[in-house]
Amino acid sequence: MNDFNAARDIPILLGAFFVLTAAIGLIRFPDLYSRLHASSKLITLGSAGIFIGVGLEFAQTEALTRLAAVLLFQFLTTPLSAYLIAQAAYLRGLEPLLEGPDEWNALGKAALLDERLEESGGG
């Protein structure tokens, strides 16, 4: 049985923590947009930790090259696909859920801007 190797096991454990957090976010968040955010960001970070740990375990040039290519492809495509899904949902009429705490009054400022645009005839 292999013993604990900190260089290999800590990135894998951190990656597993991010994947678990993403799964909890998918269950707990109220709308599609926040769920997309949780899944795209946290799954990318989680898989990066897991890939780094696996790459350190194998320590072969071929394995490291393939893992780096997969990780690069994932870092490029996951945010783009999440953006396209969110844009398609918004264009189909799915409104974001705008309830809950608004610490910086951002929602109030957005509503004020909408009112000003409607008054000026620009919206």
Tell which wins on pLDDT, 105 or 95: 95
User: What percent of the chain has pLDDT above 90?
Assistant: 31
Give Cβ neighbours of residue 85 (< 8 Å, ≥ 6 apart): 32, 36
Give Cβ neighbours of residue 20 (< 8 Å, ≥ 6 apart): none
Judge contact between 43 and 71, C-beta under 8 A: no
pLDDT of residue 111: 65
Tell which wins on pLDDT, 58 or 40: 40
| Closest C-alpha among 10, 78, 11, 4 to residue 51 | 11
Nearest-angstrom CA–CA distance, 48 and 53: 9
Say yes or no to pLDDT of 20 above 90.
yes
pLDDT of residue 122: 61
| Closest C-alpha among 52, 53, 55, 64 to residue 4 | 53
**Whole-number average pLDDT of the chain:** 83
Say yes or no to pLDDT of 123 above 60.
no
Nearest-angstrom CA–CA distance, 20 and 13: 10
| pLDDT per residue as tens digits for the range 56-98 | 888 788 888 888 899 999 999 998 999 999 999 989 988 887 6
